[in-house]
Chain A
Amino acid sequence: MKILVPAKRVPDTDQKIEVCEDHSGIETGHLPFVVNPFDAIALEEAIRIREDRVDAEIVAVSVGDLEYEEQLRTALAMGADRAIRVDCIESLDPWNTACVLKALVEQESPDLVLMGKQAVDGDCNQTGQFLAAMLDWPQATFASRIKCLEDKLLVDRETDAGIETVELPFPAVITVDLRLNEPRYASLPGIMKAKKKEIAEISMGDLGVQNAEKMHTVSVRSAKTARKRVMVSSSCELAEKLRESLKST
């Protein structure tokens, strides 16, 4: 069994984020970059699947420039068997990312694509769905539990109405939600092994894909937060205030 795990390089959104003066994006000079936390959850799940069934191979992939190797190295240290970087200096929108991943899937023929439901930089929540549609594969989005059986997958999905359990045949695309698991920190042997592993590089051209922008960033602005603070003297008063504010929304 082969599992493909896309791992996007994103700025750590827990840091203070500032918009560039020309509103073209955010200031990234001082920001640490991480593996998209949802992708890290997907990778953790892939590792757990492999811990259950020894025959699984985990391939981490990323679409970006040389800096993305840092995140792929992290994926290798956590436990991915190998890594592929599709060299790309532009930042792709979800449609084009899905196009690249589709071409990679056709080349690698995985049984399962396991990925974050969204990346925390763009919060688009589209790539997984696009990819499944392009491949005409079954998909389960917002997974909070995955059971990998011999011939099928059972997935609990988090929906607004509650948990929905779906059954999927292989091959499939699953996008994962926050509550699926907690990604591990790499072990010492994991980091040592990762240092020796090679990160394969493929060009967009090799995959026969061209970036055809579907989404265009006009301007980036920070949302105004108008938080009103009120001091309350008791928990009863707090409950009353909360009730009022719920009524008014």
Chain B
Amino acid sequence: MSLSTETYDVIVIGGGVAGLSTAMQLALRGAKVVVLERERIGNGSTGRAAGLLGQLRGNSEHTRMLMDGVEIVKELEEKADVEIFVQTGSMRIAETDARAEEIASLVRMGKSIGFAIDHLPADEVKKLLPYMRTDDLIDACYCATDGHLQPAELVSAYVKVGKDHGVTYKSNSPVTEMLMAGGTAYGVKTQDAEYHAAVVVNAGGPWSYLNAEMSETTLPTAAIGHYYLTTRPDSQQPIDRLSPAIRNRELRIYSRPESGGLIVGMYAAEPEIYDMKRLPVDFDMSAMKASQASIDVALLLDAAQRRFPWITPQTPMNITTGIMTFTPDGRPFCGKMPNIEGVYHCAGFSGHGIVQSPAIGVIMSELILDGNSSYDLTSISADRYFDVPELKARQDIDTKCCEMAGNYYGKVERPSAPAVS
């Protein structure tokens, strides 16, 4: 049986925000791009993301990427005529001395690079967040320019602008094989067609390590379960759509307003690890459901209730569950591996895919078309663990990434140690 063959400049595997942004930026620079999505465009992790944007990170290059990302998003909003960025402001709160020190060092660091962030007095916290328990707080900091990106709107903008510049999108097209000759990839195969291109981008999110395996490469990403709740709008408990996002690292939770209700999500201490190989070929992440007796949901509810005492198991709410892609250090993998030519990885955003995607698209297009980037990519290079023997076996990778995910909010960031980005 001979399959039909289509030829492009770049094939992007994965129609989540990472792949869509990359495809759009490549097309804006004139490349002929196809996006092959295994299921629906924007489903997967992208479709389940909360989209919190906290621009100040432990790594100043990441902060630069996020701040530039906001500018890209503002342009996209114009081009696609949608509201993507909701500038609610963001707050970190501390109920212990260690967390207060964490906030103090963050504020110091922010101020040192001219970033608008400052401590917030208790009465101000209460005024901004009347629905949050504040009597146990010893410090808080506030950044007015943060907020969140609306994932669905971001997807539609990427696709609209991408389409306008000739990107082809194929849904229900899982890649079954990477086509390689002499250590160089020249395309991929799906069930009904062959696609040829000099460049293949692996933006497979939780599936990224399986895509890498097709090119005989170990990519140390792991698929990690995540849960958040969304309360229904309640006239007794109004949530202003512009009330600030909250990060309460001690309780491992974050929150932001959503359609009159509140999203509260949790970075669990012991998250689930998914073996993506064992999920059905047509696995649809939007059909994932938490069991009525899920321990993860119970932990989330417990933590949510500690900070927002009006949230109880009886509160009308939806539970969203999905899969995130974590890496051993919480930073993505962007770029080539030394063993194979033609394959660029772009995955492992560790819960920050939505907000990193605008700049990541630019970075990927620069890497692919120019061979280098205007950003310092040391901390996100794809090959940074290439020679690490402890990160070759699947089980070791899963363990390391899971540890990272579990520590993500749990660990107190010490000002002396390099901060987690």
**Interface positions of A (Cβ within 8 A of B):** 12, 14-16, 30, 32, 34-35, 40, 73-74, 77-78, 182-188, 190-191, 194
Contact = CB atoms under 8 A, between A and B. Distances in A.
Interface string B292-326: 11110111011000000000011010010000000
A92 to B, nearest CB: 23
Contact of B301 (A14, A77, A188, A194): A188
B280 interface: yes
Nearest to B300: A185
B298 A186 contact: yes
Given A12-B289, A14-B289, A32-B289, A185 B294 contact: yes
Q: Is the interface of B mostly helix, strand, loop or mixed?
A: loop
A14 B316 CA distance: 20
Contacts, number: 60
A183 B292 contact: yes
Interface of B: 280, 282, 284, 287, 289-295, 297-299, 301-302, 313-314, 316, 319
The 5 A-B residue pairs with the shortest CB-CB distance, nearest first, are A77-B293, A74-B293, A184-B313, A186-B293, A188-B298
Contacts of B287: 14-16
Contacts of A182: 316
B206 to A, nearest CB: 17
Nearest to B316: A182
A131 B161 CA distance: 61
11 contacts: A14-B287, A16-B284, A16-B287, A74-B293, A184-B292, A184-B313, A185-B297, A186-B313, A188-B299, A190-B298, A191-B293
A92 B303 CA distance: 42
Contacts of B314: 184
Contacts of A77: 292-293
Nearest to A73: B293
Contacts of B290: 185
Contacts of A186: 292-294, 297-298, 313
A77 B287 CA distance: 23
Contacts of A15: 287
Nearest to A194: B293
A16 B280 contact: yes
B298 A191 contact: yes
Contacts of B319: 185
Given A32-B291, A184-B313, A190-B313, 6 more contacts: A34-B291, A34-B292, A73-B293, A186-B293, A187-B313, A188-B299
A60 to B, nearest CB: 12
A191 B293 CA distance: 7
Nearest to A48: B314
Contacts of A185: 290, 292-294, 297-298, 301, 313, 319
A48 B68 CA distance: 51
Contacts of A16: 280, 282, 284, 287
A185 B290 CA distance: 9
Nearest to A76: B293
A196 B152 CA distance: 43
A15 B284 CA distance: 8
